[in-house]
Structure 1
Amino acid sequence: MQPTYSLAQLTALNLSPPQMIELAARTGYDQAGVRLLPVAPGAVAYPLMTDKPMLRETLARMNDTGVRIFDLELIRIGADFELERYLPFLETGAALGARAVLVAGDDPEEARLIEHYAQLCDAMLPFGLSADLEFMPWPPVRDLDSALRIVGRADRRNGGILVDALHFDRSASRFAQLAEIPAEWLHYAQICDGPAERPTTTEALIQAARGERLLPGEGGIDLRRLWHELPAELPVSIEIPNDRRVAEMGHEAWARAALQAARALVEGVRLKAFPVA
């Protein structure tokens, strides 16, 4: 069975959910992701929880094209986390038929973060959603070690860890740790590439992650080894924002190039088309 491929919202952040569905359909993706809540106050997001006309249009485009919504972004668990604020988000996710929610851990007090993450998992379960904790090198959940500890201590059946290729590499997480992730915690992974030389400041890490990613095979991340360690049928979210190249090529050409490069890498590893170190 081949993995499915989803067009991540960050790859085309300025496109609304209906436009994301249409772009995914035109360029050969199975699914798409949508960002319902911003990464920071004032940042781009499409709150389908309150924008009912856009929600109806999104559902109509899904019905017309056959492209499904795979993941939702994002729920940030900070020190002031209140579960009730996110219930409309979860209800909208269920209406969209989504399967996964990207969760960011932004509370430096780990015990409190684990408690809130467990509460979120429990709330998501009736909606058929997984809570996929993403580790990044700058917030409190800064590496795979941290994510393994938090998801393990929460011990919820719909808990999960999201492996983003760029963050895995930049956080200095180790390939050997991937075997420690229970298969049931892996619901999807995000693919992209980046320069071999890692940024040295938080500001540069964030800038590279949000607007300077490379197509798989163009950079220095060992994607072949990473996908060799991940389950062969794991759904793949293609998250490759690159502001300069999208401006030059346009969203459609960039999305096509991203899917072609991701498929070549993932399926090449799966079929052992090239050796893995």
Structure 2
Amino acid sequence: MSTLCLNTFAFSPFAGAREAPPLPELSAAVHDAGFTAIGLDVFSVLGYGRPLAELAAEVAAAGLCCPEMLGFVVDADEAAALKGARQVAEACAAFGADFALGMVMLPPDARCADLFARCAEIIAQAGARAAVEFLPFTPIATIADARTLVAHAGTANSGVLVDAWHFFQGPDTWATLAELPVDEIAYVQIDDHPELLPAGADLYTECMSRRVLPGDGVFELGAFRDALAAKGYDGLVSVEVINPELVALGAVEYARAARAAVERTWA
């Protein structure tokens, strides 16, 4: 049975929030809403300015695990990419995270694949897998692009992060999702959007500000869930809804609404 996680990146300053809520407050809200897992981002975690072990203990004290940690970026600055991988690897080790989420801003050529593999190796040494996210507004826009990097880094060290938002708003099809082997999947994120966006839309802004709770938009999440189940996927499912209006409700109401949405659309 899948682990249901609430990804709290929407509360990160990196996502536009003023500041991350205190970790005990955020963790309590997630737990009390009925989740057993919380997704964190390394930018907020480091922003607390306290030892990682201390922060990890607060998450555990709330009765939660932290299976996903965002993130690292692979781009033309090789030194920065490797530094970011080491940074997120340290956080993964402290929190016991299974996955480090990575964004890749280079075309999936040999140079990119080698650098991603080096980052994945650093993360693997911390006991986690590098989860490469395909995003339709980046050079790694499709499942096939992400699979190219995973094939080079190996499934022991890496996997594809399958986010419903990027699947439904990007060029992939049900056929390309069906072709993705279950052992190449790192984990899954779910969310929704008010509309399927036309060609030329500002996908980045829409992605980072107008997501809605699962079931409140137009995504065929039931079919998405069933397509993953048909291939035998039963791993981590993380709710990631980036929307400043929902964040403004506060951590408690955000978490409660997210849990209700999961019950309606996924559990």
Under TM normalisation by the shorter chain, which class is it?
0.7 to 0.9
SS at match of 1:163: strand
Q: Distance in 2 between matches of 1:122 and 1:56?
A: 23
Q: Is the 8 A contact 2:140 2:146 kept in 1?
A: yes
**Mapped pair 1:260 → 2:260:** yes
Are the equivalent residues in 2 in contact too, given 1:18–1:57 (CA < 8 A)? no
Number of aligned pairs? 255
- The answer to whether the Cα contact below 8 Å between 1:132 and 1:159 also exists between their aligned partners in 2 is yes
Gaps spanning 5+ residues in structure 2: where?
A: 13-19
Q: Which residue does 1:216 correspond to in 2?
A: 214
The Cα shift of 1:168 comes to: 0.7
Tell me the secondary structure at the aligned position of residue 120 of structure 1. Answer: helix
Alignment partner of 1:15 is 2:21: yes
What residue is the counterpart of 1:42 in the other structure? Answer: none
Structure 1, unmatched stretches of 5+, are: 38-44, 268-277
Deviation at 1:95, TM superposition (A): 1.4
Q: Residue 71 of structure 1 is aligned with which of 62, 68, 71?
A: 68
* Matched letter for residue 256 of structure 1: R
Letter in 1 for 2:207: A
For 1:46-102, what per-residue CA distance to the aligned partner results, in whole angstroms no more than 9, with x for missing partners?
Answer: 326x9334x344223223222111111111000112325532431231111111010
Aligned-pair distance for 1:109? 6.0
Distance in 2, Cα, partners of 1:86 & 1:151: 16
| Residues 198-277 of structure 1: pairs in structure 2 closer than 5 A | 198-201=197-200, 204-231=202-229, 232-247=233-248, 249-267=249-267
Q: Distance in 1 between matches of 2:266 and 2:141?
A: 25
Output the CA distance in 1 between the equivalents of 2:85 and 2:8: 19
Q: Per-residue deviation at 1:178?
A: 1.8
Give the secondary structure class of the aligned counterpart of 1:52.
Answer: coil
Q: Give the residue type in structure 2 aligned to 1:240.
A: V
Contact 2:3 2:236 in 1 (8 A): yes
SS of corresponding position for 1:172: coil
Identical-residue share of aligned pairs (%):
28
In 2, are the aligned partners of 1:194 and 1:214 still within 8 Å (CA)? yes
Shift of 1:238: 0.6
Structure 2 counterpart of 1:140, one-letter code: P
Equivalence for 2:17: none
What is residue 139 of structure 1 aligned with on the other side? Answer: 138
Secondary structure class of the residue paired with 1:197: coil
**After superposition, what is the alpha-carbon deviation per residue over 1:6-47, rounded to whole angstroms, capped at 9, x for unaligned?**
11122333335444322211211111111114xxxxxxx332
Match of residue 32, structure 1, among 38, 51, 54: 38
What is the TM-score with the length of structure 1 in the denominator? 0.84
